[in-house]
Structure 1
Amino acid sequence: MFAVSLALFLFCIFVREGGQDQSGPEIQMDQQEIQVSIAADDAALLQGVTATDRKDGDVTDSLVVESISNFIEKGRRKVSIVAFDSDNHITRAEREIVYTDYTSPVFTLDSPLRFSIDAENLTEGLHAQDCLDGDITSKIQMSFQDSYSYGTAGQYQVNYSVANSAGDVKNLPVTVEFYDPSQESQIPSLTLNQYMINLSVGEGFDPWGYLDSVTVNHFQYVKEEDGILHGSIAEDILDPSAVQIENPVDVNTPGVYEVVYSVYDEEGVQGSVRLIVSVNG
């Protein structure tokens, strides 16, 4: 009797389970890879995707974007798509998206990368903007490429880096100068109208156009609309040859370059400033 009851019980379970839908929806895509803008919403990412279920029929309305991967390569990501049926069965599928208008994070600079020997904030004046995440200045990291002794004046090679939420890392290898404030007033100085510029490959570049003023031998010379450095007296002009410009920029080759502007006073003391030029491919 027990064996008969057990067999009947198992048969009832089989009939009950067999009557239920155990499979999830099927997801179909008209394209495995699509091109979209960085501003694309979930509806755009689901364009051309449908879902059908053996029991429920069309369940396209259940489709959702579950996640978007980091970049597989620059501008290309994987999207995980999920569909549900009325029995809460889940099916996943992936498609790749390629951004049509993606650009890597961009650094900008408000002031020269010159700091007092006792400075603590070595990212001051440096900002980073990203087309996906907006302002990512707070994510900037810095590492010394040279050995650095705190409180020692001099020039050091450093690398600033920043990453966006998709894993794209932008590096900025540059020279940082540390100075002794007690000696600063004795050194000639130069100012620029910009301290970092971003160029496209092949874009024109004239370093003289970024020089703003020169202070040397206790006189200040300001560049006016005629491109000449004028002193406070109308006839007082600084010979352009007094400003030496080291310009290694190759606008046809992507990379980070430093243009060095220098001037010497009557005693041979040098003052300099750097313009960082990022040629972006």
Structure 2
Amino acid sequence: MIRLRRAICLIFVLACAVFVVFFIKVKMVEDHVPPVITCSEDELVLSVNDDQEEALMKGIKATDNRDGDLTKEVRISSISHFISGNERTVTYVVFDKSNQMGTLKRTVKYSDYTPPRIKMLHAPRCSAAEAANTDFVSYLSATDCLDGDLTSQVKLSMNDSLYNPQPGDYPVTAQVSNSAGDVCSVSFEITITDNEDESIKQYPALSEYIVYTTVGNMIDPMGYVVGLEQNGQITECNEDAGVMGAISVNSEVNYEVPGVYPVEFSYTGDGTLTAVTKMFVVVEGNEDGK
């Protein structure tokens, strides 16, 4: 019995010794302190033309209590969508040799950012005979200052009746977004024309069919007229005062309220029917949200 008690006491003492050794190792040997990332500026101002990866690392440093300088090991973990105007949040991460992780967030602001833009390549018009075989997305293009060409990502929302329509105006909405989560959405109309008499009409031709402006800034619609279009051929007449004077403009744009508004250009040639071309003006709010 005495030997059993001594054996139990010995086992207990050994267990305590093992625990103490393990505890000392955990506290004294293993690293539980994560590295620290610092930056010289809490808010970083960039240009969209900067080398983004290099510019985002500006002023970033990292140190660890055991591994020392880890600046070269810092990586960009994520970049948020825009959270306010042209501001995003960048998250940085770094690991030390013990796989302890350090993180840092800071705000990045673009000094010259502009939202993505959808443009219309030609007049939003199609004959009833061609409508069923027309890819209306091909009427559009899109560009972005961050991502470049976004044309392949443009989505068009429209009523199915547009593929087998009667002459008239059909509402559609085009939308595209960039990698920063900024969305450009433009609602406009596709005009389906009657097959008869189209060959003799002379439509005002424009340099732009979707135009962007901001609240309070009026555009000159006639400044976008470049000539007359007949049977798909454009005859330039921007210096022909007679023709230019015969084109009338009917604008419904409210420059005080953000939205998308139509502008109609009408022209009646000698002995021909009146032809109408539509432009759509996107009035955007100013940076202060007004």
Instruction: Work out which of the residue numbers 245, 250, 257 in structure 2 matches 1:240.
Output: 245
Structure-2 residue corresponding to 1:155: 169
Please say if residues 37 and 60 of structure 2, whose CA atoms lie closer than 8 Å, have aligned partners that are also in contact.
yes
Note if 1:7 corresponds to 2:11: no
2:189 matched to 1:178? no
Give the drift of 1:265.
6.7
Cα distance in 1 for partners of 2:21, 2:140 equals: 72
CA change 1:279–1:178 in 2 (3 A) is: same
Percent of residue pairs bearing the same amino acid type? 30
Deviations 1:184-227 (A, max 9, x none): 336553333433334466666332333344479xxx98525243
* One-letter code aligned to 1:133: D
- Aligned counterpart, 1:233: none
1:6-55 residue CA offsets vs partner (Å, 9 max, x unmatched): 22322222222222221111222333222122224334323333222222
TM-score by length of 1: 0.81
Structure 1: gaps spanning 5 or more residues: 230-238
Match of 2:260 among 256, 263, 278: 256
User: C-alpha deviations, 1:81-122, integer Å up to 9, x for none?
Assistant: 112222221111111111111100012222111133313411
Tell me the equivalent position of 2:156.
142
1:63, distance to aligned residue in structure 2 (A) = 1.8
| Aligned mates of 2:268, 2:175 — CA distance in 1 | 34
Q: Which residue of 1 aligns with 2:144?
A: 130
Q: 2:33: which partner in 1? A: 23
Of 190-199 and 109-118, deviating more is: 190-199
Q: What amino acid is aligned across from residue 240 of structure 1 in structure 2?
A: G
Q: Which residue of the partner structure matches residue 208 of structure 2? A: 194
Structure 1 pair 213/33, CA: closer, same or farther in 2 (3 Å)?
closer
For residues 1-281 of structure 1, what are the structure 2 equivalents within 5 Å? 1-18=10-27, 19-38=29-48, 39-115=50-126, 116-144=130-158, 148=161, 150-153=163-166, 154-181=168-195, 184-185=198-199, 187-199=201-213, 205-214=219-228, 223-229=237-243, 240-241=245-246, 243-249=247-253, 254-264=258-268, 269-280=273-284, 281=286
Note the alpha carbon deviations across 1:219-257, whole angstroms, 9 max, x for none. Answer: x9852524332xxxxxxxxx834x331123456665433
What is the DSSP-based 3-state SS (H/G/I as helix, E as strand, rest coil) of the residue aligned with 1:158? strand
The separation in 2 between residues aligned to 1:214 and 1:34, in whole angstroms, is 49
Is the contact made by 1:262 and 1:273 (CA closer than 8 Å) also made in structure 2? yes
Larger Rg: 2
Calculate the aligned-residue CA RMSD, in Å.
Answer: 3.0
- SS at the partner of 1:124? helix
SS of the equivalent of 1:123 reads helix
Equivalent position amino acid for 2:14 in 1:
S
TM-score by length of 2: 0.78
Given that 2:162 and 2:170 are in contact with CA atoms closer than 8 Å, whether structure 1 keeps it comes out as no
SS at match of 1:3: helix
